[in-house]
Amino acid sequence: MFTTAKKLVVIGVAGALVCGAAGCGSDSPSDSDASTIKIGFIGSLTGPLSSSGKVSLDGLTAGADYIAEHYPGSKVEIVQRDTKGEPTAAVAATRALAQENVSALYYTTEAFPAVQDVLNQVEVPASTAGGIGPILNDVGDSNRYKYAFSTGAGTAGETSVIPLLEYAAASGNPVAMLNDSSAYNTAQAELTASIVAAKYPQVELVTQSFPTTASDVTAQLNKLRDSGAKSIIVWSYGSPLVAVMSSLSKIGWNPRMAGVLGVGDPAAASLIPAGMKDTLAAGPMAKTFLSTSPGASPSGVTAEFVDRFRKASGKDDFVALDTVGATSFDWVLLVHQASENSHSADPNKIKDALVSGEPFDGANGTYVFGPDQRIGIGADQLATFLPAQPCTNGTCASADLPATS
């Protein structure tokens, strides 16, 4: 999908300047500056959500490495700002990087909703994984937030809910649902309830929630177990998910569980109770990372992502959570192609190219965006996986089949 019609060369990083409340007021890269492309990362590199932030940054680095090799003489520069997990810190960081003339931005999930009004002011297209979920109804050129995109594979919208809901509901009623108080979790829980009401009236949903800072959620889990539920959907990730998994072990409850991609984080996967190892499914995950054959390897650009991600992260192994890196890796590839298609590094021209309906290929599959279509991956490209099984050679085990050893 990527042409070599135009080579991209990056100039050095300017000093970070924080703009005033009225806006940045800097000039965007013009057509004459089309040889310059700079992508900013804003998110948690320290704090309780740092694991996904580091994966996202490594994905961006891997994407820049891919462009450098496949387009000799080209270079994408990644500039970063650590929010330490504080969403409000992302606002000042957005203004600072816009002042540095970035062509695009990438955010971790918790940082994305807070910056939308600022993105409209600085007019820079930005992507995330699940961070688009809380604002999805307001995204698009005909809506409030015009610069929001998601390269996440099944991290927001109905495609992020239905595979997990159907997996849990297969055990019968009632179906338990647990979420923490973060914006993403709250939005996913509300979306799940609305989907059940509209499309699955036969499903009886019982719910509990807990503060994001909680280290023990046994009280909430006991209430869900006492409801008679034999299955549970858990929307938490990061430290809150670790609290859920350790609490399940404490009370000795082994429900059929459907969880987010973060269950594949080694810190969480290592806590999966023995009685749940064959029945806990997570995702959705892009099918490009799934296989029914133990030991299989991915191919094409997906294989290149895995190799470059390992290099960027300094790791020999590859776990399920590392596929989050493909979300940011793909954003680099998409922004690069959009820049070539528009013959410009101007953020608005890149945005226009992204929403033109042109297909874009990445490690997760094929993306298609539109003026009001900002989640580029469809449900037909997604499935669930078994987080208790290793992702050998960068390929995870499909949850659609019995676990393999």
Q: Which domains does the chain have, with CATH numbers?
A: 31-155+300-379 (3.40.50.2300), 158-288+383-397 (3.40.50.2300)
Residue 74 above 50 pLDDT?
A: yes
Residue 11 above 60 pLDDT?
A: no
pLDDT for 156: 80
What is the pTM (predicted TM-score) of this model?
Answer: 0.79
pLDDT for 2: 38
Q: Cα torsion for 306, 84, 89, 59, to the nearest 10°?
A: -10
Mean pLDDT of 222-236: 97
Looking at 2-6, 11-15, 144-148, 204-208, which range is the least confident one?
Answer: 11-15
Residue % of the chain over a pLDDT of 90? 69
Which residues does residue 139 pair with via DSSP β-bridges, in sequence order? 145
What mean pLDDT, rounded, does the chain reach? 88
Please write the tens of the pLDDT for every residue from 326-380. 999 999 999 999 999 999 999 999 999 999 999 999 999 999 999 999 999 888 8
- Rounded to the nearest 10 degrees, the angle between the axes of helix 183-199 and helix 158-169 is 70
pLDDT for 133: 86
pLDDT for 365: 95
pLDDT for 330: 98
Residue 1 above 50 pLDDT?
A: no
Residue 146 above 80 pLDDT?
A: yes
Whether the CB-CB separation of 211 and 158 falls below 8 Å is answered with no
* Rounded-to-integer distance, Cα 386 and Cα 398, Å: 6
Residue 72: pLDDT band by 50, 70, 90 thresholds?
Answer: confident
Q: How many CB atoms lie within 10 A of CB 138?
A: 13
Residue 155 above 90 pLDDT?
A: no
Mean pLDDT of 298-304: 96
Cα-flanking dihedrals φ and ψ of residue 139, to 5°?
Answer: -95, 140
* Rounded-to-integer distance, Cα 171 and Cα 331, Å: 37
pLDDT for 35: 65
Please write the tens of the pLDDT for every residue from 182-228. 988 999 999 999 999 999 999 999 999 999 999 999 999 999 999 99
Looking at 19-33, 37-51, 99-113, 219-233, which range is the least confident one?
Answer: 19-33
> Which of 152, 197, 155, 166 lies closest to 59 in space, CA to CA?
152
pLDDT for 32: 39
Per-residue DSSP letter, 23 = B
Whether the CB-CB separation of 165 and 189 falls below 8 Å is answered with no
Scan for tokens 């932030």, then name that residue.
Answer: 53
Residue 18 above 60 pLDDT?
A: no
Q: How many CB atoms lie within 10 A of CB 402?
A: 8
